[in-house]
Structure 1
Amino acid sequence: MDIKDKSVIVTGGGSGLGAATALRLAKAGARVGVFDRNPEAARAIAEATGGLALVGDVADEASATQALEKARDHHGPLRALVNCAGIGTAKRVVGRDGPMPLADFERVIRVNLIGTFNMIRLAGAAMSTAEPLEDGERGVIVSTASVAAFEGQIGQAAYAASKGGIAALTLPIAREFAGFGVRVATIAPGLFLTPLLAELPEEAQQNLAAAIPFPKRLGHADEFAALVAHILDNRYLNGEIIRLDGALRMAPR
């Protein structure tokens, strides 16, 4: 899909991988809706991209519906959704204080997995009625899993489960949405220099980077954004989970 002048929504677009993606797609001429729960972050990236700030909760039906409607009214029919919104937690299932609180597990699943599914179902419905473009394509949906979906470490049970769920959604939804002319793909990033990792001491960052075969460094957010742009552009990419990790395979801890 040629993304120029097309409406795109990026969830979690106020920071990290989402912000880099919003900036990259705006540079390519897309009309970007920056969906984030942080109003200031959403407005800052929307201003930088010449786009639209969409504030809300991806896991809330009413909030997500309002965001899609606002984007449609300002930018026209939705052609691409990039799901970057997500949270993490580091807790053992059974720790020193006993079992992991169920509410902690539920929170991660709600934001990461249910939020992604909520946005996919609403975006898919919107795209299904749009006018077809080249090859009958009506839209593209890109979600963000993680290498933790395949090699979750100790303390990552909730996060790994949420990202594993996103990976598992990819093929069945791609098969279903094929009837609409909507492609579905997922990126599973490894260790990226997001704001969270950037807060770690330099020594800690270097220790993490040492585990990556090549290149021996943390990933850059613009490298993630470049892959999103390629998925949108390449009409034969569909139903795939693409690892972006420098050949990293996570150790147990």
Structure 2
Amino acid sequence: MKLDNTIAAVVTGGASGLGYATVQALRAQDVKVAIFDLNEDTGEQAASETGSIFCQCDVLSDDSVDAAFAKARAENGQERILVCCAGGGNAIPTARRDKKTGEIKTFPTDQFEWVLKLNTVGTFRCITRAAAGMMELEPIDGERGVMVNTASAAATEGQMGQAAYSAAKAGIVGMTLTIARDLSREGIRVNTIQPGIFDTPAMARAPQEMKDALGKMVPFPPRLGVAEEYASMAMELVRNGYMNGTTVRLDGAIRMQPR
């Protein structure tokens, strides 16, 4: 897909981390970008810094997502690009025994459901809205739009305590090809990036010793990924018209260990 000021994009989770780097990369090509994010303060700041518009959005809510798309389209026109970076997780063992008391505790089901809703359902919610809008467009060079989703190395090598996060990200990987097939007749491509360990704002809160140790786990290069590398891959998936229905690992060849 060509990238210029006639093209509009939506980036969920675009106020920080992988999403923010993708916003910057799109804006560097003069693409009109709408940042979807839950945090109003960081969202407005990110929009101001990048020359984008901010649409407050909770991907857990139909009404919130619908309102965000309506605002984005009123300002920028119908998007031809959707990049889904919104997500999150928790770390809770499936079942564990308290070392002091011996009490057995299980993963709270509501916390498991929340992670699936935030990642898998939230991504799908945005995909369906974007797909419906893109289907109203006339094709350019045979395609109406392109979507890039975000999974995780945890989708295939989840560590201890990541049952919910692994399931949620595996769901994104699992639905990628199916959705690409669903939308193929409409000229809409769908791909997913499966990042390894990246230096994101969430990771920034970790001690430097931990980040150094995690970086050494990566075969090559032995470091954490940086958000600009994710953005570069997202841009290639947008540009390359033959990339469709694919999940691309972006992880320096790491295969996560149990802990």
TM bucket (normalised to shorter chain) is over 0.9
Normalised by the length of structure 1, the TM-score is 0.98
C-alpha deviation, 1:59, in angstroms: 2.2
Q: Are 1:201 and 2:207 counterparts? A: yes
Instruction: Tell me the distance in 2 between the aligned counterparts of 1:111 and 1:35.
Output: 14
- Could you say which residue in structure 1 is the equivalent of 2:178? 172
1:64-79 to 2 correspondence within 5 Å? 64-79=65-80
1:233 and 1:166 map into 2 onto residues whose CA distance is: 21
Output the CA distance in 2 between the equivalents of 1:88 and 1:21: 21
Give matches, 1:227-246, under 5 Å. Answer: 227-246=233-252
For residues 195-242 of structure 1, what are the alpha-carbon distances to aligned partners after superposition, in whole Å with 9 as ceiling and x for unaligned?
111111111111101110000000000000011111111101000000
Contact 1:23 1:48 in 2 (8 A): no
Question: Matched residues in 2 for 1:114 and 1:59: separation?
Answer: 8
Q: Which residue of 1 aligns with 2:23?
A: 22
Q: Helix, strand or coil for the counterpart of 1:188?
A: strand
**Greater Rg by CA:** 2
- Alignment correspondent of 2:147: 141
> In the alignment, which residue of structure 1 is the partner of 2:198?
192
| Partner of residue 4, structure 1 | 4
Local SS of the residue matching 1:77: coil
In the aligned structure 2, how far is the partner of 1:50 from the partner of 1:80? Answer: 17
- Does the residue aligned with 1:78 lie in a helix, a strand or coil? coil
Partner residue, 1:93: 94
1:89 is aligned with what amino acid? N
Q: Conserved in 2, the CA contact under 8 Å of 1:8 and 1:79?
A: yes
Q: CA deviation at 1:3?
A: 2.1
**Paired residue for 1:214?**
220
Match of 1:129 among 127, 136, 139: 136
| Percent of residue pairs identical | 45
Report the AA paired with residue 245 of structure 2.
Answer: G
Match for residue 116 of structure 1?
123
1:79-111 deviation per Cα after TM superposition (whole angstroms, max 9, x unaligned):
000000001101101123501111111111111
SS at match of 1:212: coil
Are residue 225 (structure 1) and residue 231 (structure 2) matched? yes
Count of residues in Structure 1 that have an aligned counterpart in Structure 2: 252
Q: Partners in 1 of 2:235 and 2:66 — Cα distance?
A: 25
Report the 3-state secondary structure (helix = DSSP H, G, I; strand = E; otherwise coil) of the residue aligned with 2:210.
helix
Q: Which runs of 4+ in 1 moved over 2 A?
A: none
Q: Deviations over 1:42-84 (max 9, x none)?
A: 1111111111101021121111111111111111111000000
Q: Secondary structure at the match of 2:80?
A: strand
Contact 1:59–1:115 (Cα < 8 Å) also in 2: yes
Structure 2, gaps ≥5 residues long? 99-103
Shift, 1:177, TM fit: 0.5
Where do 5+ consecutive residues of structure 1 fail to align?
Answer: none
1:57 aligns with 2:58: yes
Deviations 1:5-60 (A, max 9, x none): 21100000111111111111111111000000000111111111111101021121
Contact 1:170 1:240 survives alignment (8 Å)? yes
Q: Distance in 2 between matches of 1:47 and 1:90?
A: 34
TM-score, reference length from structure 2 = 0.96
